[in-house]
Amino acid sequence: MTSPLIDAAELSALTEDTRLADVRWYLGVPGGGHRAYHQGHLPGAVFVDLDRHLSAPEGSGRHPLPERSVFAATMSRLGFGDDQLIVVYDDAGGMIASRLWWMLRDIGHDAVRVLDGGIQAWLAAGRRLSTDTPDMTPRTLTVRPSLTRQIDRQSLASKLGTLTILDARAPERYRGEVEPIDPAAGHIPTALSAPTTGNLDATGRLRPSTELAAHFRKLVPEGEVVMYCGSGVTACHNILAMKIAGLPEATLYPGSWSDWSTEGMEVVTGDEPGER
């Protein structure tokens, strides 16, 4: 199995047709990612905006998934094509870039990898940044059978107690001690806390596959796994981490807590997962 990760040295040595996507985004800082991109990005990288390109105007949760055909058309206009290896990166350990990694696989594009350590790893390897405007000649990105899985709120509610649900948010949000964005604090009944920060080492890179496998096997001995977070973005990082670990593909709840809490579903607070 080809690793979903790529390091800076391997990326700089690639000779095949490669397209880079800068997916930097900051909660509560509108336009912050775009400004950071213009201050310096990997040479040839195209800015892909979480709010404009990777979310629909309306739908379940704060970052609803666009229709697959709409997403494919958007990426095609930005110059991403079927025949390219797409490398995605951010400056948050892959927390945001993993959303694009997941969405590309959702339309059947398997030639996508996440830059391990992001822009910081690129700079640490002595590589340069650019402020040039990249070529954005439109290409064709075809919608093919999905390589991922997802579940909606109603289906998840009907399956509580029959699968493992992992909450990728910070522990204090899981416990319901704070909730800076959504209308209710706490977590989905039966969900276990699995913050995405546990996937990274001290340098901001993904932990080795053996460590990730041990980490997730403690949480999920067997069976189907559903991932959620605040709005369906960082949950993809847990899916990525399980993929690196060689474990079965987890299912994404795209609406996540922003959808669940807005619809007045049952909420649990504290350290315990709660019962159905």
Q: Could you give the CA distance from residue 25 to residue 34 in angstroms, rounded to a whole number?
A: 8
Specify burial of residue 268 (Cβ count, 10 A radius: 0-12, 13-18, 19+). Answer: middle
229 a catalytic residue: yes
* Strands lying side by side in the sheet with 225-228: 192-193, 164-167, 225-228, 251-252
Asked whether 200 and 211 are in contact (CB, 8 A), the reply is no
Taking the chain, what is the end-to-end CA distance rounded to the nearest angstrom?
Answer: 37
Marked catalytic residue, from 11, 92, 168, 229: 229
Rounded-to-integer distance, Cα 192 and Cα 168, Å: 9
Catalytic residues: 229
